[in-house]
Amino acid sequence: MKGIVYLSGENVKLACAELKGALKALGNPSEVREGIGQVAILDMPAPGISRRMGFCHFDGEILFETGPDPESVISSCRDCMRETGRTSIGFIIKSDSGNSPLTIFKELEEAARASRVPIDHRTPSFKLFAVIAGGRAFIGRVSGETDRKGLLSRRGSRMPFSRPVIMDPRLARVMVNLSGLPPGSRILDPFMGPGGLAIEASHLGISCVGVEIDERIHEGSLRNIAHSASAGTITAIKGDSRNLREHIPGDIDHFDGIVTDPPFGRSASLGNATAEGLLTEVLMEVRPFLRREAPVVLDMPCNMEQDLEGKYSLMESYEHRVHRSLTRHFLVMRAA
């Protein structure tokens, strides 16, 4: 049986990379066999993978594949409904063609009522999906959906302490997933800022040591962590990451990876350093704490080339346009 993951549409390339990282993090053997726009087809289901992701809508198992015409889609959906018995049912309908999802949705509701199957779109016992993409239709059972409510609750405007350029929690979650690190790992964020990356890592079962040099921002991060992080997962340190050895607790001898959003732009506190120079200095300081092949995920204002003296190698890079004046560049590196 094949699986399906319906990705967010604002950056499908980045969403697909996040999916692969999330599958790796969970040790799931599923592989992406085909991509059709926002639709990723897996060689086997990955139940609930969407709950880990930021750039995703839902995942499920494909029960039928048919033509894109409404008649075929509705007929296959009815076959799915017959398997539900009298349990409640809900629908997710997506289409990249001229077929109206609303029309199919209404016809399925009528079919459910005719079969006396209770309809409950909020908490159904069985949620059915019908996805029409690339001239094909995929019908099956929804296994999980992205926790959009939880992610929205951690947006900057809803946190105790915020900054004008604070990263959206969905993007923060994407960055953590790009690392491919499993629950139980420990990461370092040497430029922690208000704590958004560390907080998203905590919700994925990853502990984080965060270092922030600015006292006011450090105090704000403590408030955000207390408000939104999983308890006991984040160690927040006020200090300069260029002198990391002076700040790291003695019982920590390594990190499984780095996920960080280095300072850049006019509002960043760089002192006399350039963004490139500061990042290079910190990565050189951190290298002894990383095992070989440890992932390093960075968010940069441009795809900069750093002089890293052979200590790190660039594996992947992704652009994401946030708005007209800000494009983020996500770099995935490995410790050499």
Q: pLDDT tens for residues 186-214?
A: 999 999 999 999 999 999 999 999 999 99
* 229-247 residues labelled b (16+ CB within 10 A) or e (exposed): beeebbbbbbebbbebeee
Give the DSSP H/E element, type plus range, for residue 289. Answer: none
The answer on pLDDT for 158 being more than 50 is yes
Range with the lowest mean pLDDT among 49-63, 225-239, 261-275?
Answer: 261-275
DSSP one-letter string for 122-188? SS-SEEEEEEEETTEEEEEEEEEE--HHHHHTTSGGGSSS--TTPPPHHHHHHHHHHTTPPTT-EEE
The answer on pLDDT for 26 being more than 90 is yes
Give me the residue spans of the domains in the chain.
3-146, 149-335
Range with the lowest mean pLDDT among 4-8, 46-50, 93-97, 192-196?
Answer: 93-97
* 129-146 residues labelled b (16+ CB within 10 A) or e (exposed): bbbbbeeebbbbbbbbbb
Range with the lowest mean pLDDT among 34-38, 180-184, 218-222, 302-306?
Answer: 302-306
Higher-pLDDT residue of 307, 317: 317
Q: What is the model's pLDDT at position 255?
A: 98
Question: Which CATH superfamily is 149-335 part of?
Answer: Vaccinia Virus protein VP39 (3.40.50.150)
Hey, what amino acid is at 7? L
The answer on pLDDT for 273 being more than 50 is yes
Q: What is the model's pLDDT at position 266?
A: 44
pTM over 0.85, yes/no: yes
The answer on pLDDT for 233 being more than 50 is yes
Q: Report CA Rg, the chain.
A: 22
Hey, what amino acid is at 177? N
The answer on pLDDT for 231 being more than 70 is yes
The number of C-alpha atoms within 13 Å of 94 and in the hemisphere containing its C-beta is: 23
Residue 113: CB atoms within 10 A of its CB come to 11
Question: Which tokens sit at 189?
Answer: 């964020």
The answer on pLDDT for 221 being more than 90 is yes
Q: What is the model's pLDDT at position 316?
A: 93
Q: What is the model's pLDDT at position 224?
A: 97
Q: What is the model's pLDDT at position 121?
A: 87
Q: What is the model's pLDDT at position 96?
A: 83
Range with the lowest mean pLDDT among 2-11, 86-95, 140-149, 208-217?
Answer: 86-95
Question: Which tokens sit at 144?
Answer: 């999980």
Q: Tokens 């660039």: give the residue.
A: 314
Q: How confident is the model at residue 271 (pLDDT cuts 50, 70, 90)?
A: low
Distance of alpha carbon 21 from its chain centroid, rounded? 9
Question: Which tokens sit at 24?
Answer: 């790796």
pLDDT tens digits along 279-314: 889 999 999 999 999 999 999 866 555 556 688 999
How far apart CA 271 and CA 226 sit, in angstroms, is 29
* 298-311 residues labelled b (16+ CB within 10 A) or e (exposed): bbbeeebebebeeb
Q: How confident is the model at residue 267 (pLDDT cuts 50, 70, 90)?
A: very low
Closest alpha carbon to 211 in 183, 192, 230: 192
CATH of domain 3-146: 3.30.2130.30
Closest alpha carbon to 224 in 147, 154, 149: 154
Beta bridge partners of 300: 329
Distance of alpha carbon 204 from its chain centroid, rounded? 10
Q: Tokens 């994401």: give the residue.
A: 320
Residue 275: CB atoms within 10 A of its CB come to 18
DSSP one-letter string for 52-87? G-SSEEEEEEEEEEE-SSHHHHHHHHHHHHHTTTTS
pLDDT, mean over the chain: 91
Range with the lowest mean pLDDT among 36-45, 130-139, 146-155, 324-333?
Answer: 324-333
Q: Are 139 and 61 in contact (CB under 8 A)?
A: no
Phi-psi region of 335 (alpha: psi -120 to 50; beta: other; left: phi over 0): beta
Average pLDDT over residues 165-178: 94
